[in-house]
Amino acid sequence: MSNHEHFYINGEWVAPVKPQTLDVINPATEEPFTRISVGSAADVDKAVAAAKAAFETFSQWSHSDRLALLKRILEVYNERFEDIAQAVSNEMGAPLAFARDAQAWAGRGHLQATIDALETYSFSEQRGTTRIVKEPIGVCALITPWNWPLNQIVCKVAPAIAAGCTVVLKPSEIAPISGIIFAEVMHEAGVPKGVFNLVNGTGPDVGQVMAGHPDVDMVSFTGSTRAGIIVAKTAADTVKRVAQELGGKSANIILPDADFETAVTKGVRGCFSNTGQSCDAPTRMLVPQDRHEEALAIARRVAESMRTGDPKDPETNLGPVVSELQFDKIQRLIKSGIDEGATLVTGGPGRPEGLERGYYIKPTVFGHVKPDMTIAREEIFGPVLSVISYVDEDDAVRIANDTVYGLAAYVQSQDIERARRIAARMRAGSVYINYPAWDTKASFGGYKQSGNGREYADFGIHDFLEIKSIVGYGE
């Protein structure tokens, strides 16, 4: 029996207090492929009460017991790996290969990284006669987005479990099925009743209620900066901790000595990966003024080689964006780029030729973009690249940092010392030199309006802990 119309509360699949359903749309077809129940404050109350009751016992579990539980969760996750990948492909339109190799893999990778971190994590230290101990913060409300569903679910749930916290998860109602399968994984793995709970629903009806709930000790939120501000304001009345991973408008500085063919090609592919729906995507490509046309020629060739279409087709590189709302927003921003005078190199408004249904976007490259243009400042969240000229190194850094965001930045150079100097000047939580492999043991989080707190590995565990000093503890 499908659990799509149930919530997972206190170790059981339960019906909502007030029955209400929502269709889940496959963005490749624009048709519903299933439906879920959406919750209310009453469902949140039940889930929080279960988590609060479970915390009394689970917070006292030993380091080794929590480690064994995470290992069991990983085992079951691997057993459900293909189900998870199929769900992600259906709910957000990810090409199936990408759903397996990146989306579902991310959950596996972060579970393993958390296990590795917990193996050696120390929850206490001695400073003279004072004992410093790190204790679980309590009941945690976890609110996750649709664009990397398993990445963000596991980046929150795994470290919370490692720390000894209990949780209530609200996945995005746009892409909720992978989250339901994850709840099934938790149940099969033997997570104690009340330690993990799931309530589906909208941001206003469930997410905000969780953020403001008096028995919730911490909120961890990933989503837009706009929504993050609402969550933080709601949480402020009860003075709870709020960790946020929000928007981005990441600059990709290609220095003059870089291999331009490689640097521009990988930059375009990085921007378009996940159909451009990544908060850390390198969406602003900064190139030397005298090599702008060279960069545009490469970018156009790469963009036009990308195949947009059916996520189930193994030849597809780019699927649809997740929803009609996102499609319309991206179309509006593409039009703004044209209206404000940027050069449309390839792509543009409308669906790609031959695709009459589905929320498909033409892979789009703009050249001669000015830093004050809308497409250079707003997070587009689609396969749209802005190429911007710079005069010299200082100008490149100034343009890169001239944004309200600070999630990620990229630097390309054959001179590693030069790249490191540039990286040191970037106001971003992560800086990537020469397109390195994904590192699940690096920290992840942002400066400025890209949020606060850090995720991944031991950094994630730390965010779910309180620090207590026992003064006079003795030697």
pLDDT tens-digit series, residues 231-284: 999 999 999 999 999 999 999 999 999 999 999 999 999 999 999 999 999 999
The percentage of residues in the chain with a pLDDT greater than 70, rounded to a whole number, is: 100
Residue 71: which of 123, 120, 111 has the closest Cα? 111
The CATH 3.40.605.10 domain(s) of the chain lie at: 7-246+450-470
How far is 37 from 5, CA to CA, in rounded Å? 5
What pLDDT score was predicted for residue 475? 85
pLDDT tens-digit series, residues 73-92: 999 999 999 999 999 999 99
Q: Say if residue 173's pLDDT is above 70.
A: yes
Mapping DSSP to helix (H, G, I), strand (E, B) and coil, where does residue 385 land? Answer: strand
- Domain made up of 7-246+450-470: CATH architecture: 3-Layer(aba) Sandwich (3.40)
pLDDT tens-digit series, residues 38-55: 999 999 999 999 999 999
Q: How confident is the model at residue 180 (pLDDT cuts 50, 70, 90)?
A: very high
What CATH number does the domain located at 251-439 have? 3.40.309.10
What pLDDT score was predicted for residue 63? 96
pLDDT tens-digit series, residues 376-395: 999 999 999 999 999 999 99
When pLDDT is averaged across residues 9-13 and rounded to a whole number, the result is 98
Q: What value does the mean pLDDT of the chain take?
A: 97
The CATH 3.40.309.10 domain(s) of the chain lie at: 251-439
Q: How confident is the model at residue 35 (pLDDT cuts 50, 70, 90)?
A: very high
Q: Say if residue 23's pLDDT is above 80.
A: yes
Q: How confident is the model at residue 1 (pLDDT cuts 50, 70, 90)?
A: low
Q: What is the dihedral of CA 233, 155, 46, 83, to 10 degrees?
A: 130
How far is 79 from 81, CA to CA, in rounded Å? 6
Q: Catalogue the active-site residues.
A: 245, 279
